[in-house]
Amino acid sequence: MKRTAVNPWDWSIKLGYNQAEMIEGAARQVICAGQTAVDGEGTPQDPGDMRAQISLALDNLEAVLKGAGLDLSNVVKLGIYATDVDEALKNFDLIGIRFDPYRVIPPMTLLGVTRLAIPGLLFEIEATAAA
């Protein structure tokens, strides 16, 4: 699979994402449901702690990708939902920490929402991956 960043401007790179990526030669695609800060039983964890919830949601995303035989290097698009965008952005370094070793900065969208499906959850991340 070949990835080519498409950035008519460079401002988004400074924020940690590409405007677009052209994907060529991918043999399969995996669409991941939104991952949140829940344990293996689906019980919400870390109430009120955005940083801990982002970290656990990323752990869960990595587990789903691993189950499909992929990892974060295969992520080609992220959708992120947060009940407090400012608080999420304060902790966005966690996304860079996870993705930087793979040298990918997938296109992403961050949306502020009034709540998530399960009360107490503050952050949800969905991904599209290709291999």
Please report the DSSP string for 106-124 in residue order: --EEEEE-S--SSTT--EE
What is the number of residues in the chain? 131
Task: Check residue 45 and give its pLDDT.
Answer: 98
At 27, give phi and psi (nearest 5°).
-95, -25
Domain assignment present for residue 62? The answer is yes
DSSP characters over 76-92: EEEEEEES-HHHHHHTT
Q: What is the CATH number of the domain that holds 72?
A: 3.30.1330.40
Predicted pLDDT at 102: 97
* Residue 67 covered by a domain: yes
pLDDT digits (tens, 9 = 90+) for 14-73: 889 999 999 999 899 999 999 999 999 999 999 999 999 999 999 999 999 999 999 999
pLDDT of amino acid 19: 96
Model pLDDT, residue 116: 97
Domain total of the chain: 1
**pTM for this model (two decimals):** 0.92
